[in-house]
């Protein structure tokens, strides 16, 4: 890989997500050569992906060019590269654009959707972890409504208009709330010749409460908000299979839905060379010590979703959320400088700033370390926090204007089928039609 030689030690960061960017920012003014590798040339603000899927925001407003984040720092280099393997014995990384040597390697590859080995759900259900996946979901939702207009078969029409969202965490809750708002405010106007009141939004949660990582108060309130919006919240039910039209569960309940969104689990994105069984914990997270060092592998660190740091307070690692990734990136930045200066490193201590989820228009639930609140004020807090952490001034302005516009007009104007999406069962159907 063509990177200039430097007298500074080389820190290679794999992944320009929340953790990788926070680390790169910390190191860029220091005496280190920083090489950031990512398979995308943009940082993706995942907490707002559901708004892209539901036409509330354009994808461009939640993505930010990685090169721009660190523009003007002479020791910073970005390469668009997919990392394939880490060779810890020779301190080299293999990528699709060649090999690169590192003095220190930081893995910040995040996580991906975990279908727990269920191939039919993986191939016919929808994930929402990346911008292309969110655009696919947006297209599918709109295509299904266009399709619903074309059929006289009531059963088929219902299936096209129904949604099943699997997983009652923040992603599932926020998506269900947004879909309910669309059903209420947009679909009747867009499809006056379709009885869109029949569209069902089902949120299926295997446990006994939604938002299980938040307080019971937040769970109960969020469930109430969703029910008021007309979402069917199903608890203690596990989705077991999906054939593209019928959703099977471990109870007597079955759903007919052409759109199934799987928001029921993630697993770490692990890289070959660091995927030995003894290095990994549950969900393929890489085990690290309190300095983010991969156990037993010299000069290799992991932060964010991919890393599992087990502490007394967090025996199963920190939550797979943006804040731990950002704080770990910053801490590791300081520690790498200390390491280069032969100073002792500082152990990482996570400062829990709380968690939140929005449930449609005007409603959110917020759990802070000392306060808990729900409703309109929580919604304002939710908006402020998301705007604050969004990278890029332009993005903040665009998102803010969109939100104000959508709020006043009860609208979501990005409901566009820019790149049509063909679900696997649809493709089979089309082929049959050609026969």
Ligand X SMILES: Cc1cc2nc3c(=O)[nH]c(=O)nc-3n(C[C@H](O)[C@H](O)[C@H](O)COP(=O)(O)OP(=O)(O)OC[C@H]3O[C@@H](n4cnc5c(N)ncnc54)[C@H](O)[C@@H]3O)c2cc1C
- List residues binding ligand X (CB under 6 A): 14-20, 37-40, 46-47, 49-50, 82-83, 108-110, 128-129, 170-171, 269, 271, 304-306, 320-323, 325
SS3 84: strand
SS3 157: helix
DSSP-derived pairing of the beta strands 163-166 and 201-204: parallel
Whichever of 194 and 364 has its CB closer to ligand X, that residue is: 364
Spatial distance between the Cα atoms of 129 and 48, rounded to a whole number of angstroms: 10
> Measured from the CB of residue 148, what is the shortest distance to ligand X in angstroms?
26
> Measured from the CB of residue 214, what is the shortest distance to ligand X in angstroms?
11
Whichever of 181 and 305 has its CB closer to ligand X, that residue is: 305
Whichever of 169 and 244 has its CB closer to ligand X, that residue is: 169
Residue 327: CB partners within 8 Å, gap ≥ 6? 22, 348, 350, 351
Whichever of 160 and 180 has its CB closer to ligand X, that residue is: 180
> Measured from the CB of residue 1, what is the shortest distance to ligand X in angstroms?
13
Per-residue CA distances from 46 to 49, 170, 275, 281, 399 (Å)? 5, 12, 25, 24, 14
Residue closest to 91 by CA, chosen among 276, 337, 300 = 300
Whichever of 83 and 297 has its CB closer to ligand X, that residue is: 83
Whichever of 196 and 358 has its CB closer to ligand X, that residue is: 358
Q: Which residues of 157-178 are buried (b: 16+ CB within 10 A; e: fewer)?
A: bbbbbbbbbbbbbbbbbbbbbb
> Measured from the CB of residue 79, what is the shortest distance to ligand X in angstroms?
9
> Measured from the CB of residue 62, what is the shortest distance to ligand X in angstroms?
10
> Measured from the CB of residue 194, what is the shortest distance to ligand X in angstroms?
28
Phi and psi at 366, nearest 5°, equal -130, 130
């Amino acid at each position: 890989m063509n990177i200039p030689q430097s007298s500074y030690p080389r820190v290679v960061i794999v992944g320009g997500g929340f953790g990788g960017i926070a680390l790169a920012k910390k190191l860029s003014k220091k005496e280190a050569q920083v090489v950031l590798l990512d398979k995308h040339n943009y940082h993706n603000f995942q907490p707002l992906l559901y708004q892209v899927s539901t036409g509330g925001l354009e994808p461009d407003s939640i993505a930010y060019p990685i090169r721009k984040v660190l523009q003007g720092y002479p020791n910073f280099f970005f390469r668009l590269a997919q990392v394939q393997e880490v060779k810890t014995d020779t301190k080299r990384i293999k990528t699709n654009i060649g090999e690169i040597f590192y003095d220190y390697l930081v893995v910040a590859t995040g996580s991906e959707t975990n279908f727990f080995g269920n191939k039919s759900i993986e191939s016919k259900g929808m994930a929402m972890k990346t911008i292309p996946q969110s655009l696919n979901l947006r297209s599918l939702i709109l295509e299904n409504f266009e399709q619903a207009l074309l059929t006289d078969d009531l059963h088929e029409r219902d299936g096209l208009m129904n949604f099943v969202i699997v997983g009652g965490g923040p992603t599932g809750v926020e998506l269900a709330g947004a879909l309910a708002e669309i059903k209420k405010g947009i679909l009747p106007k867009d499809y006056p010749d379709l009885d869109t009141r029949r569209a069902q939004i089902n949120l299926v949660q295997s446990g006994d409460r939604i938002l299980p990582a938040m307080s019971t108060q937040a769970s109960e309130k969020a469930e109430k908000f969703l029910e008021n919006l007309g979402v069917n919240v199903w608890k203690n039910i596990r989705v077991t299979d999906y054939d593209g039209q019928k959703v099977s569960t471990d109870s007597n309940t079955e759903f007919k839905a052409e759109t199934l969104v799987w928001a029921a689990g993630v697993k770490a994105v692990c890289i070959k060379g660091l995927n030995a069984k003894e290095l990994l914990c549950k969900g393929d997270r890489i085990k690290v010590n309190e300095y983010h060092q991969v156990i037993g592998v010299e000069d290799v660190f992991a932060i964010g979703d991919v890393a599992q740091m087990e502490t007394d307070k967090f025996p199963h690692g920190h939550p797979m959320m943006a804040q731990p990734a950002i704080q770990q990136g910053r801490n590791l930045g300081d520690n790498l400088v200390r390491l280069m200066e032969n100073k002792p490193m500082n152990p990482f201590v996570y400062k829990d700033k709380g968690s939140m989820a929005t449930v449609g228009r005007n409603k959110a639930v917020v759990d802070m370390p000392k306060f808990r609140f729900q409703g309109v004020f929580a919604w304002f807090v939710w908006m402020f926090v998301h705007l604050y952490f969004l990278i890029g001034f332009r993005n903040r302005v665009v998102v803010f204007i969109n939100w104000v516009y959508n709020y006043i007009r009860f609208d979501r104007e990005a409901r566009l089928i820019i790149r049509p999406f063909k679900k696997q069962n649809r493709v089979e159907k089309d082929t049959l039609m050609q026969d």
